[in-house]
Amino acid sequence: MTYESLPFATRARLHEQLAGYLEGQIAAGRLREAPLLDTLVFHYLCSDNRAKKREYLFKAGESALEISAFTTAVEYLTPLMDLLPIGDPTLSTPAAIEQAQLAAITDADWRRGCSGRHDQWMGDYTGAQAILEEASSGAGQ
């Protein structure tokens, strides 16, 4: 039986079971969490488990921030905003994420900067990180 022929509820359950298995392997010390964050995000996003979706989007966004991967952090933190409970004070942060997107350097900007005009094309990494940290504070709770 192919994946596409499975009912969506079955697919969601299987994705959650696989992610749960990976979490168990991490808890047992057989695997490390950091290299599996993207995989865990993928499987939980395909599941119906909103709490785990929030948890792993936040962890992956935070991990991306730690290595100054601002574009990647925005990709994880933006869908997190849709999963936060209504009335959560962190819901005011989509504008902060947009500001961080504008402050972070893009690949195209980097290539242009490498051609000689560094000062014109460099992003404001410190500003972007501060904005994204503000955006993600409290989201992992």
119 falls in which pLDDT band (50, 70, 90)?
very low
Read off the amino acid at residue 94.
Answer: P
Split into its structural domains, the chain has a count of 1
Q: Quote the domain boundaries for residue 127.
A: 70-141
Residue 116 lies in a domain: yes
| The two three-digit tokens of residue 58, written as one number | 């936040």
Residue 19 lies in a domain: no
Residue 90 lies in a domain: yes
- Tell me what pLDDT residue 22 has: 97
Residues 62 and 56: their CA atoms lie apart, in Å, by 10
Average pLDDT of every residue of the chain: 76
Residue 45 lies in a domain: no
Residue 43 lies in a domain: no
Residue 86 lies in a domain: yes
Residues 102 and 100: their CA atoms lie apart, in Å, by 5
Higher pLDDT, 117 or 24: 24
Q: Is the pLDDT of residue 10 over 70?
A: yes
Residue 10 lies in a domain: no
Q: Give, as one character, the DSSP assignment of residue 71.
A: H
Query: 0.85 exceeded by the pTM?
Result: no
Residue 1 lies in a domain: no
Q: Which ranges in 6-117 belong to alpha helices (H)?
A: 8-27, 37-45, 50-66, 70-83, 94-103, 107-114
Residues 105 and 70: their CA atoms lie apart, in Å, by 8
Q: What is the pLDDT of residues 127-136, one digit of tens each?
A: 666 666 666 6
Give the CA distances from residue 61 to residues 7, 28, 33, 106, 136, in Å, rounded to whole numbers and listed in that order.
30, 24, 14, 17, 8
Q: What is the pLDDT of residues 46-104, one digit of tens each?
A: 999 999 999 999 899 889 888 888 888 888 888 887 887 666 555 445 555 555 555 55
